[in-house]
Structure 1
Amino acid sequence: MTTLRTSRAEAPSERLSMAQIMDTVTDGVLPLRFVAYDGSATGPQDAAYGLKLLSPRGASYLATAPGDLGMARAYVAGDLDVIGVHPGDPYELLNALGDLRFKLPPPKTAAAVARSLGFELLKPPPPPPQEARPRWRRVAEGLRHSKTRDAEAIHHHYDVSNAFYEKVLGPSMTYTCACYPHEGATLEEAQENKYRLVFDKLRLKEGDRLLDIGCGWGGMVRYAARQGVRVIGATLSREQAAWAQEAIRREGLEDLAEVRHSDYRDVAETGFDAVSSIGLTEHIGVKNYPAYFGFINDRLRPGGLLLNHCITRPDNRRTSTGAFIDRYVFPDGELTGSGSIISAIQDIGLEVRHEENLREHYAKTLAGWCQNLKDNWDDCVAEVGEATAKVWGLYMAGSRVGFERNVVQLHQVLAVKLDDRGEAGLPLRPWWEA
């Protein structure tokens, strides 16, 4: 690969080109091609992937919000373009960006960068309309994780368009990590296998009662109902609930299955044989884990099982998501390590019996969703607009990189509610097929 870097400014008084500024703030060999609106360029001339900065406003986005947020703003607004990849699946470019290292230039060089950009470019432009309010403002307003605020956050992400999700997620309409039975399995096979795995871990059988919290479009609800289980699903998304109820009607499962447009906290029924929470814990807020798992404990009968399936961090020290994810994808979302989740489950009295990490499975799931978005790009853009479609491609491809590089993980935790004598009533060894 031929590497061509622009010459760095010899004197801080020089006016730097956009490419020279890129060279100034990056360390080592640039792993991609960078082309700017001022005619300057840097990075390998024969690089397969790259970025094209199209306007001064794009430079302003990058300068005033360094990192993933500034790049996302410029990209979503149409001021930054990708080279060599499809916007529905920019995985290869984002994987290369994962090797990019930034550095803080010396004070004199930083001053030269500021002079070169000029006062106007150092004023933050208004963010694209797809962006949610900043986290600090939500915290200051005291609204995070109230019923009203949670409904608003879910609406921001999940009520985009059912038709859009049908194109991206495929026939299963399942927006959680699949479980691949083998390397060559299709996305649909892997999603069906995930529901089978959850069902089996919960030891469900005909006539049992299941509560599925954060049920989405009802995939788990309908899977369990097909096996004769009576199921209540709850989702804060009105569009999801409507789609799920119609799917239940089409399959003739009305006597067994119900999906409510409801906060899970409003489910009053108790005595469930099992509770599944698939992809909801990320939205709860770490400080609310005791109340959340306490609610689940109260809904289970003695001997009842919980299966908690959620994205986690590889450590237990941090909780906040990145700026791009918080503003464009999951407002108010929080991630912590599986250890924190297990501790919270144990602290309310449930006994943890098993946990496993499906990190690589989520990377494969995201690759499947990106392929669907790419294959149906024109229809998706027609449905939600190009800017929103670009957000999804960026988010899913970036998340794939995160799962592959162990920035994030996916854990399933199985727990049981013991009876008054401390007995679980479970087999001595795992009873499901992995």
Structure 2
Amino acid sequence: MTITIGEAVGSLMRDGLPVRFEAYDGSAAGPPDADITLRLVDQRGLAYLLTAPGDLGMARAYVSGDLRLEGVHPGDPYEAMRLLQNNLRFRAPSVGEALTLVRGLGLGNLRPPPPPPQEHLPRWRRVVEGVRHSLDRDAGVISHHYDVSNAFYRHVLGPSMAYTCAVYPDADATLEQAQAEKFDLVCRKLGLRPGMRLLDVGCGWGGMVRHAAEHYGVRALGVTLSREQAAYAREAIEADGLSHLAQVRHSDYRDVAEGGFDAISSIGMTEHVGVRNLPAYFTFLREHLRDGGRLLNHCITRHDNVRRETGAFIDRYVFPDGEPIGSGTIITQAQDAGLEVVHEENLRRHYALTLRDWCANLVEHWDECVAEVGEGTARVWGLYMAGSRLGFERNEIQLHQVLAVRTGPDGDDGLPLRPSW
């Protein structure tokens, strides 16, 4: 017995479809007058959905263009994702029903097509790149994400080239104002003053080192595993006339030999370190601070402290080997490394606003972005940023800043009695 794709999809929905679904075999499901249509355009898309159930199969079909969302822009599918997450309820079929559905759709669709070229190796195959979070493997996965195209990132991130959560001083602030406020907040929490030495680990395109050097007169060293980021940062430092104060190296943070820094900033770095490596990470940072030196750790966190792997889409397409964990674990590991934690702050809602503005940039510069990296990669970014925005809005993920001090042996932490930032 053959069944249509529309019949199969409709039979799996517990409460019906909140959007219109239309398939290449002419079948459909869901309300005909829906504002959003989910269109399956070919058999390869069906094979993706059947052979990789869950977010990976959907992602493969969407990135390849075999599954299309009509009624929203691919640079910002937020409204469609919000509608689907709020209203889509799958019904688990029995074994007999599942076999009937598969036979009805054709056993030939159970042969997995090659994944889209944007997809990274699965975790179990990354052993060819080295042990997880080894120097070589970290370099490879960072390159996968960050060495896409500086021109593409300029279109999405804006002039600040800051690819971390901004801090909105008020609801009407622009993205650029919010990114400047983020860097300045970090500088204020670190208590930077002219002549101090700052180490910025995972420095990206150099936004933090440039801000600290220009506005606080510190001597700043940034390190990044991305060759593209390092090249961009060096050019920006020279263009800003900051070469006498700021330096960026294409290097692993573990290769920094200098010590005795007055301050260290770690912005969007801890997610890439790995939970098992947090003790060594915070020990390294403590050892590179002078007594009284401060560390500001700014990273994506989970809403709890349960260690789990990221979803298949994020791991294969966005952040291979990424391991966010709860702020409680971050604080515990910093304390166990001998640092005194003096302040923490959750900026979850600020990241939702940041992602909103990045998606708006992607929509505005869609044609340029597609020309730069291809439509498949541009689709990955729209899907990832819109989905992440939902995650931050719903408190599924958070963003914490944790301020710690290498308190001296006499108990002097160098801090005012109350925060002044």
Structures share fold, TM-score greater than 0.5: yes
Whether 2:146 is the aligned partner of 1:149: answer no
- C-alpha separation between the residues in 2 aligned to 1:347 and 1:141? 31
Structure 2 match to 1:378 = 367
- C-alpha separation between the residues in 2 aligned to 1:140 and 1:159? 20
1:24-423 alignment, distance < 5 Å: 24-99=11-86, 100-138=88-126, 142-226=130-214, 227-423=216-412
Write out per-residue CA displacement over residues 47-66 of structure 1, whole angstroms, 9 at most, x where no aligned residue. Answer: 22231001111011011111
Which one is further off, 236-245 or 36-45?
36-45
- C-alpha separation between the residues in 1 aligned to 2:308 and 2:336? 19
- C-alpha separation between the residues in 1 aligned to 2:241 and 2:313? 41
- C-alpha separation between the residues in 2 aligned to 1:193 and 1:117? 54
- C-alpha separation between the residues in 2 aligned to 1:394 and 1:106? 31
Write out per-residue CA displacement over residues 89-128 of structure 1, whole angstroms, 9 at most, x where no aligned residue. Answer: 1111111121222231122211111111222101211101
Unaligned segments of structure 1, at least 5 residues: 1-13
Post-superposition, which runs of at least 4 consecutive aligned residues in structure 1 deviate over 6 A?
Answer: none
Contact 2:130 2:137 (C-alpha < 8 Å) held by counterparts: no
Aligned pairs, how many?
A: 419
Structure 2 counterpart of 1:173, which letter? M
Superposed displacement of residue 139, structure 1:
5.2
Which one is further off, 107-116 or 244-253?
107-116
- C-alpha separation between the residues in 1 aligned to 2:46 and 2:203? 41
Superposed displacement of residue 325, structure 1:
0.5
Cα RMSD (Å) of the superposition? 1.2
- C-alpha separation between the residues in 2 aligned to 1:135 and 1:358? 30
The secondary structure found in structure 1 opposite 2:148 is coil
Contact 1:286 1:319 (C-alpha < 8 Å) held by counterparts: no
The secondary structure found in structure 2 opposite 1:413 is strand
Which one is further off, 108-117 or 68-77?
108-117
The secondary structure found in structure 1 opposite 2:16 is coil
The secondary structure found in structure 2 opposite 1:102 is coil
Write out per-residue CA displacement over residues 76-97 of structure 1, whole angstroms, 9 at most, x where no aligned residue. Answer: 1111111100111111111112
Structure 2 counterpart of 1:186, which letter? T
Structure 2 counterpart of 1:51, which letter? L
Superposed displacement of residue 320, structure 1:
1.5
Contact 1:353 1:414 (C-alpha < 8 Å) held by counterparts: yes
Contact 2:298 2:402 (C-alpha < 8 Å) held by counterparts: yes
Write out per-residue CA displacement over residues 283-305 of structure 1, whole angstroms, 9 at most, x where no aligned residue. Answer: 11110001111110010001111
Distance 1:140 1:347, change over 3 A: farther
Superposed displacement of residue 425, structure 1:
2.2
Write out per-residue CA displacement over residues 109-153 of structure 1, whole angstroms, 9 at most, x where no aligned residue. Answer: 111111112221012111011100001222587521111111110
Write out per-residue CA displacement over residues 4-54 of structure 1, whole angstroms, 9 at most, x where no aligned residue. Answer: xxxxxxxxxx42211121122222132211111111111122222231001
Structure 2 counterpart of 1:183, which letter? A
Structure 1 counterpart of 2:42, which letter? S
Write out per-residue CA displacement over residues 239-285 of structure 1, whole angstroms, 9 at most, x where no aligned residue. Answer: 10000000000011001000000000001110111100000111111
Structure 2 counterpart of 1:97, which letter? L
Contact 2:129 2:136 (C-alpha < 8 Å) held by counterparts: no
Superposed displacement of residue 423, structure 1:
2.5
Write out per-residue CA displacement over residues 167-189 of structure 1, whole angstroms, 9 at most, x where no aligned residue. Answer: 11000000000000000000000
